[in-house]
Chain A
Amino acid sequence: MHSNLAPFFVYTLRSPHFSHLPHRCFLPHSFIPLHQTLTRTSIFNPSMASTPKKSRQSPSKSKLRSPIAAPVTPHSLPTRRSTRLSSLLTDSPKTPNLVDAFNETPKRRRRIGEKTEPVAKSRLDFSHKDKVSTRNSSIKVENEKDSAQFLKTRSKKSESDEIPFAPQSPEQSKSVKRKRKEEGEKTIELSKKRNGKDELFAPTSPDQSETKKRKRKNEVEKTVVTRAKAARKEGKIAKVQYYKKVVYDGGEFEVGDDVYVKRREDATSDEEDPEMEDCKLCFSSGDEIMIECDSCLGGFHLKCLTPPLKDVPEGDWICEICEGRKMGKDVDFPKPPEGKKLVRTMRQKLHSSDLWAARIESIWKEVDGCYWCRVRWYMIPEETSVGRQPHNLSRELYRTNDFAKIEMESVLRHCFVMTPKEYAKASNEGDDVFLCEYEYDIRWHSFKRLADIDDERENSDEGDSDEDWNAGKESDSDTDEDVDYEEENIKIAQSQPPTSHQLAANLHKGRFSGLQKIGTKRIPEHIRSHKQTNLERAKASLLLASLPKSLPCRNKEMDEITTFIKGAISDNQCLGRCLYIHGVPGTGKTMSVLSVMRSLRSEVDAGNIKPYCFVEINGLKLASPENIYKVIYEALNGHRVGWKEALRLLNERFVEGKKTGGEADRPCILLIDELDLLVTRNQSVLYNILDWPTKPHSKLIVIGIANTMDLPEKLLPRISSRMGIQRLCFAPYNYQQLQEIISSRLNGIDIFEKQAMEFASRKVAAISGDARRALEICRRAAEIADYRMKKLALNPDNVAAGKGLVCMADVEAAIQEMFQAPHIQVMKNCSRLSKIFLTAMVHELYKTGMGETTFEKLATTVSCICTSNGEVFPGYDILLQVGCKLGECRIILCEAGAKHRLQKLQLNFPSDDVTFSLRDCKDLPWLSKYLM
């Protein structure tokens, strides 16, 4: 990729001329780069100025949207139908399942034809404007930060590669959040200002453009100057100014936007940017309905097809030419008529590597006044080391970890690169929509999923923050969420440059080095082209790891936790408090607390609660109890110190109330999971931690989680008096609750027989009430059913392969496997001598009434039994070995074999189990008389 940067160097040389362009009014026409004329069109888009609210949207987007706003009947519309699938299916080869999948996904229709009119108009405008030859790459500054500050944030972020809300570094994430918030506010102000401006200019008509343009430009100049002056006044060495959003050449480019980037300067056919592509058969666009082929993405008029289609068909549609090619025939697209040039859209150019797509990471103005941005490239599958793989979708791109600084000149216009989920929902963005699921490492040529970042974000704005987001959109301001997202991206973008000397990977020096090496060389096909069956979907949703959308049956407890925390932190005084949560494993203790914290965080974001720090620690993951000080201190301040030093510093903070900075003033919530592991001999660790909340200035809240109900009572009185006041008990789930949990997970997947599910939940409720167990049983039952089904499918005779439901027998088998000890089966199948040995043990037990016996006594019993039943006595040594083998399996408990005749033996299971398993032994029917 680096070699591809050559064209930009050309720009760099030219840049001094162009950097002054905004300030000059007139320029010879020939100087204007071609793509600028393209982007300029959007400025005159009437829709842009029509409503101030839309001004934040990218021009091309608004262009697309404005006509749709008008109520039109779908039939009269020239529609173009895209059958892109929301699920990750390959577009080839087709499987019968595809139709199903399509039916499940919301339909999207792309309406390209609608655009025609505005486009035509803008083209007219553009010609008109060319005559006037205004140079109007107006640049508006939306937001600025001085470079020093920006660099600071960036460097800080680059230190940690954790997800912002990862519990390990709540401190960091929080600081980031606050900064974001400030930025957000700033942006809101600025955008308000901008709105005002826009209203001033609206409506813009092409004829008035001259004056308006100038006016705007003047203003822009003014702001820039003042900002620059201000920066200078502050005495910072800000040579370069960073912006959040820039209006360049009529397009609004924001950090985090995806754009097309010009690649070649000599591209001949790039004069126009057709918003609407021509029909591949008749080579005209027209107002007819067009359909998109799912293989070549070419557009076809419905009437041009043979036979002509009346309606857009459901499901995938592949044009006859692609179909022909797939059959192995050599079919070519019809040649365009003479004189008609084949015009390609940007998307087509991108796919033929004439353009690039990139995401803007930062924008700044150089000292000489030209605008630059740092971009992160996207790659088309053809450019990767493995080339296009069969499962790649036609609109798929890869995000790379390759960055480049380019001039804003070479940025063409917006495109939209989305995650699969967004992509599935996207409907009206036009032709420039792409899908990106993987990141491609250009150094190691490996792929990695992007999913987790987006998951994280999705989890974070689940529920209440959703309204926020909408509100923010309406007021046309950058909400926290937006900024969050950008910050996250910058963070990801800091995939550090290659280090000069290799660090050991498992040494934690702020971060683990070299993890970027991990990645697949190819994306395995089975993951993408595999259509999940119902059973597999059920298995996936029953996974313990998959976080449920809602937590049923724990509302009361969660309310209690919420009121506790709110009560503790919303006090001005913020007296520290302790909460002790107990309950058997798998009753949702940790999950409830974490979900409460999530919802509280969104309330913090919304500004309802004051910000706080949250530290989560698991007692079992600490090397020693004392290490907890170290971990807490690191989480709060970001430094790693020894535990003694950490204890001193924490004491300073919590006991003496010495605050080191603005952030230390916040209340701090400490969640300690598996609290019982912190109990040391003198219990000093627990005492220290539970003593801090009682200090007047600590602002510390401790939530302890453990299994035992009476942990406080087992501790020293001075500790239990501090901890045991407020308690919350998580009772084991009863069977209705378990059933609700399972069915809420299996929502929409109907593969479990009703009784089967009830059986599983009743069984678990009777034994432990552990939700994990219940889920695992159901998952195992689904696995057994799946195994059964696949085996039946192998056998062609079995046409009636069952209904594909998980039935009682499967659940029964799963429960058996999980709860039944396997010793009975082993005893039934063990060797002949072992059986005699066990029988002799039971006989000995009955005879003497003593549980314990010695090998010598047992050997005499065995030899008695053997001789009276015609069996050959094997000899002492062999008998000893038999006993030791049984001891290995823990069917009997025995001492080491070296003790020989003094060896003590004892049955490990009730003698009834032995009787049960050996009673009906076919080889040795006489055993039963000794077992009675």
Chain B
Amino acid sequence: MPNNLLSLEMAVAMETEGENHHIVKALNLLRSRICDTGFIFKDSSDGNYSKLKFMISSSVAEACNNSILLLGPRGSGKLAVLDLVIQDLLLQYPDSISVVRLSGLLHSDDISAFKEIARQLCMEHQLLFSKAASFDDNSQFMVAVLKECGLAHKSVIFILDEFDLFAQGKQRLLYSLLDAMQSVSSQAVVIGISCRLDADQLLEKRVRSRFSHRKLLFLPPSIEDSQRLLALMLTLPLESGLPYDYAVEFNKRVQNIIEDKKFKEIFNKYLNFDSSVKHLLRFLFYAVSHMDLQTGFLSRENFETASSSIQRQPKLECLKNCSILELYILVCMKRLEVKEKSLCNFNAVMKEYKSVHDSFQTSDYYARNVCLRAFEHLIHRELICFSDNRGHSLSVEFRPVKLLISSGELYQGLKAYQSCPAILQKLIDS
């Protein structure tokens, strides 16, 4: 985010002047608000936050074992809410909670997962950890510590991020964890986080039988909720040390922007793609970071730039950077495809290229080795790819390739390309 950095630098410069001190302050306030998950997720009374907090805190207070799954698409705030809840509970029960965090991406095999659990438990209780301990040692150690913790009224909270990845193989980790929770003395909560909605179906039946199947579903907010959140986030508080007049004016302008029809269009188009909270916050952060520090107010243009800088069209941009020769190759491949020759290799493309050149007498005719370079370049950019993984020993020229860009996009790209030869346009039109 170079723009962001730039505005920060400017902000620092402004601060030395002292003139626009309150503008910088307002900007900082908005930014910290956007980054603060508590501000977003805590307010709702019947939301997942209060439900989850009730579940975990009652398991801690009543010394029972629970296993909970947090499900929902990416960016819907599963981990953020959980972190908030755990922060709160650590304040509420300072010595009776210890947290063990595992990620499916790092510890999906049982041996490393047990090792990591043992390490974190050792850290938590200031015990000496040995890397050399075996799988059996570590799993027995875990059970022993769970028991001791239970006797000392301590709950161990296991957070398994990317839960679906733990459900591969024999699921020894999950089985041992959930089986250890069947004894009276242990006191543990297992929380799995996954974006796969069928995560609990992945469990083996004996593991599933031991799982307590608490499920919390995190859903993206509706458009109306998002708008409310947007207004809430961008409204400056009137009594926070900011000049009163400035804050009132700022809020008025924000209100105007929100009610603006064009803004609504941008906003809806943005959320049509992905309505998750994280996506919305990213948008807001971009917009706020583009705020004009001279005037100190947000404008609609800020949001427009934010929207366009987030929603990019990578394939079209890729086309924009292609050379003329590369465009020729793409168009040739397209023509071959239309001729029902879905499989082609470099030689076939060269033949087509030659025939195009012969029939239209274009000025751009390059030698074979130059074309090969361009061809390889396209492969690296993933505009075309090899159609199968076999035949690595074959040289590039003989391996069959496929086009990775649809005709519609190619057409659009050629139109947008300024120095595109007219002949190419004609070829693609026909």
CB <8 Å contact, A891 and B274? no
Chain B: minimal CB distance from A623 (Å): 4
Q: Which residues of B contact A805 (CB under 8 A)?
A: none
- Between B64, B71, B130, B316, the greatest number of chain A beta carbons within 10 A of the residue's beta carbon is seen for B64
Q: Count residues of A near B (Cβ-Cβ below 8 Å).
A: 95
CB <8 Å contact, B271 and A831? yes
A818 at the interface (CB under 8 A from B): yes
CA distance A823 to B275 in the complex (A): 17
Interface residues as binary, A756-799 with B (CB distance below 8 Å gives 1, 0 otherwise)? 00000000000000101100100110010011001100000000
B186 at the interface (CB under 8 A from A): yes
Chain B: minimal CB distance from A704 (Å): 15
B107 at the interface (CB under 8 A from A): no
User: Which residues between 171 and 203 of chain B lie within 8 Å of chain A, taking CB atoms?
Assistant: 172, 175-176, 179, 181-186, 195-198, 201
CB <8 Å contact, B273 and A831? yes
CB <8 Å contact, A508 and B140? yes
A208 at the interface (CB under 8 A from B): no
A599 at the interface (CB under 8 A from B): no
Chain B: minimal CB distance from A896 (Å): 11
B282 at the interface (CB under 8 A from A): no
A303 at the interface (CB under 8 A from B): no
Across the two chains, which residue of chain A brings its CB closest to B73? A889
CB <8 Å contact, A545 and B220? no
Q: Which residues of B contact A530 (CB under 8 A)?
A: 61
User: Which residues between 877 and 894 of chain A lie within 8 Å of chain B, taking CB atoms?
Assistant: 877-878, 881-882, 885, 888-891
CB <8 Å contact, B179 and A527? no
A101 at the interface (CB under 8 A from B): no
CB <8 Å contact, A504 and B148? no
- Between A449, A506, A536, the greatest number of chain B beta carbons within 10 A of the residue's beta carbon is seen for A506
Interface residues as binary, B137-152 with A (CB distance below 8 Å gives 1, 0 otherwise)? 1111100110111111
Partner of A545, one of B51, B65, B201, B409: B65
Q: Which residues of A contact B405 (CB under 8 A)?
A: 900-901
Across the two chains, which residue of chain B brings its CB closest to A519? B152
A618 at the interface (CB under 8 A from B): yes
CA distance A30 to B9 in the complex (A): 92
CB <8 Å contact, B206 and A539? no
Partner of B133, one of A504, A515, A545, A885: A504
CA distance A880 to B374 in the complex (A): 26
CB <8 Å contact, A447 and B128? no
B93 at the interface (CB under 8 A from A): yes
CB <8 Å contact, B152 and A448? yes
A512 at the interface (CB under 8 A from B): yes
Across the two chains, which residue of chain B brings its CB closest to A459? B184
Stretch at the interface among A131-139, A213-221, A376-384, A868-876: A868-876
B58 at the interface (CB under 8 A from A): yes
B63 at the interface (CB under 8 A from A): yes
Across the two chains, which residue of chain B brings its CB closest to A794? B45
A503 at the interface (CB under 8 A from B): yes
Stretch at the interface among B31-39, B211-219, B230-238, B360-368: B211-219
Interface residues as binary, A673-685 with B (CB distance below 8 Å gives 1, 0 otherwise)? 0100100000000
Partner of B127, one of A455, A514, A539, A900: A514
Q: Which residues of A contact B125 (CB under 8 A)?
A: 505, 514, 517-518
User: Which residues between 336 and 369 of chain B lie within 8 Å of chain A, taking CB atoms?
Assistant: none
CA distance A821 to B198 in the complex (A): 7
Q: Which residues of B contact A831 (CB under 8 A)?
A: 220, 271-275
Partner of B197, one of A447, A518, A821: A821
A506-B141, A707-B206, A818-B215 known; A449 vs B197 contact (CB < 8 Å): no
A449-B153, A772-B209, A898-B382 known; A505 vs B274 contact (CB < 8 Å): no
User: Which residues between 826 and 865 of chain A lie within 8 Å of chain B, taking CB atoms?
Assistant: 826, 829-833, 856, 859, 863
CB <8 Å contact, A508 and B141? yes
B311 at the interface (CB under 8 A from A): yes
Q: Which residues of B contact A547 (CB under 8 A)?
A: 184
Q: Which residues of B contact A783 (CB under 8 A)?
A: 55, 58
CB <8 Å contact, A520 and B74? no
Q: Which residues of B contact A586 (CB under 8 A)?
A: 209
Across the two chains, which residue of chain A brings its CB closest to B210? A772
Partner of A515, one of B62, B111, B144: B144
CB <8 Å contact, B153 and A506? no
A269 at the interface (CB under 8 A from B): no
CB <8 Å contact, B73 and A885? yes
B335 at the interface (CB under 8 A from A): no
Chain B: minimal CB distance from A781 (Å): 12
Partner of A888, one of B74, B183, B209: B74
Partner of B196, one of A508, A527, A876, A890: A890
B314 at the interface (CB under 8 A from A): yes
Q: Which residues of B contact A889 (CB under 8 A)?
A: 73, 195-197
Q: Which residues of B contact A881 (CB under 8 A)?
A: 273-274
CB <8 Å contact, B409 and A876? yes
B1 at the interface (CB under 8 A from A): no
Residue ranges of B at the interface with A (Cβ–Cβ < 8 Å):
46, 51, 54-55, 58, 61-65, 71-74, 93, 95-96, 111, 118, 121-122, 125-130, 132-141, 144-145, 147-154, 170, 172, 175-176, 179, 181-186, 195-198, 201, 205-206, 208-210, 212-215, 217, 219-220, 222-223, 269, 271-275, 311-316, 382, 385, 402-406, 408-409
Q: Which 6 A-B pairs have the closest CB atoms?
A: A504-B130, A505-B127, A585-B209, A506-B141, A832-B272, A623-B135
Contacts A506-B133, A908-B198 known; list 6 others, CB within 8 Å.
A505-B127, A508-B140, A544-B212, A545-B184, A772-B209, A881-B274
Query: 13 A-B Cβ contacts within 8 A?
Result: A502-B128, A506-B129, A507-B132, A508-B140, A515-B148, A539-B62, A545-B182, A545-B183, A620-B179, A787-B54, A822-B215, A831-B272, A878-B313
